[in-house]
Amino acid sequence: MTYNGRLTSLSHGGGCGCKIAPGVLSDILKSSPIRQIPAALLAGSDNNEDAAVYQINEHQAIVATTDFFMPIVDDPYQFGRIAATNAISDIYAMGAQPLFALALLGMPINVLPLEVIQQITAGGESVCAEAGIMIAGGHSIDTVEPIYGLVAIGVVDPKKLKRNSGAKLGDSIILSKPLGVGILSAALKKEQLSDSAYQEMIALTTKLNKPGVALSQLDSVHALTDVTGFGLAGHLLELCRGAKLSAQIQWDSIPVISEAVKLVKEGVFTGASPRNWLGYGHEISMAPHLDTWHQNLLSDPQTSGGLLISCSPEATEQVLEILRADGFTQAQQIGHFTQGSGVSVA
């Protein structure tokens, strides 16, 4: 294997599209259930929470998560930025404030020049600085494919903790970033992505989900998660299962990257989309006028995707104002929760 200047050529998958399919992951985890869960563990692997949360006193709980993947772009600095943004997002998705990070670095040392690896880590450090934290250590190994990510540690008041299981009947469903990053990444690998769409992809995947901290202060925000490798449909299903409710969403209300629509109609999408749908498609009800390309967008793996928020209807505008004030200009209400189970798309 040789390095031709394209990081993506060294990996068989990229970004959150590398995730193990939800159905397969569920089968794996069934064989190793967690036992003797301490009362202080407020969140763990139950309901696929974004991070583990361990209460240390009345007013503080530690939030811990990890995320890493193979290159989604060829620029090493941007790859580092995207991977770090994606990892820290899980802290914000719990309503927590990041404290510090540890780097996870796996590189083909005999293939990649050291200066390329240095650019990857520099990209990660730049995002951590933007989040107000430092990389305090980490671990590195020699691997076949490039891998980079973080362990991220944060802190939250247990009373302000936001989980993915608290949605209430009638709640509004809000999405802060548009869908389509996975499709853009597939086009990039095929050298079919326009320069403008590439720049939009970088901007979206390196934007920190900082509003999660402000949203945690609102009692009217009942559930919070981020949309990543399982796509909008998969992560919305997690909210539905946790609340034992159904989600009704309107396709025309969902923010979508315009070039992603064009590309998916031409048959460009990641291998993760059909794998995702295979795992949960039986829980999704699609209106008759919706086509296969709509399905591939709903299951499109989002790397460093947006926040998915459940809030009381009267708080909808307040939540949207918080998001838009922080630059999430495409944030939209996409539906609401009703009685039942699964997701209905009209």
Q: Which class for 255: exposed (0-12), middle (13-18), buried (19 or more C-beta within 10 A)? A: middle
What is the C-alpha separation between 65 and 19, in angstroms, rounded? 15
The neighbour count for residue 314, using CB atoms within 10 Å, is: 9
**Backbone CA torsion sign across 249, 255, 259, 260:** negative
Question: Do the beta carbons of residue 105 and residue 140 sit within 8 Å?
Answer: yes
DSSP string computed for 2-55: ---S-GGGG-SS-GGGGSPPHHHHHHHHHTS---S--TTEEESTGGG-SSEEEE
Neighbours of 52 (CB within 10 A): 18
Q: Pick from 84, 75, 143: which is nearest to 109 by CA?
A: 143
The DSSP symbol for 300 reads: P
From the candidates 16, 18, 240, 311, give the one annotated as an active-site residue. 16
Give the residue from 203, 221, 220, 204 showing the smallest Cα distance to 93.
Answer: 221
For the record, the structure tokens of 50 come out as 């974004």
Look up residue 86 and give its amino acid.
Answer: N
The tokens for 337 are 């929760």
User: Would residue 16 show up in a list of annotated catalytic residues for this protein?
Assistant: yes
Which residues are designated catalytic?
16
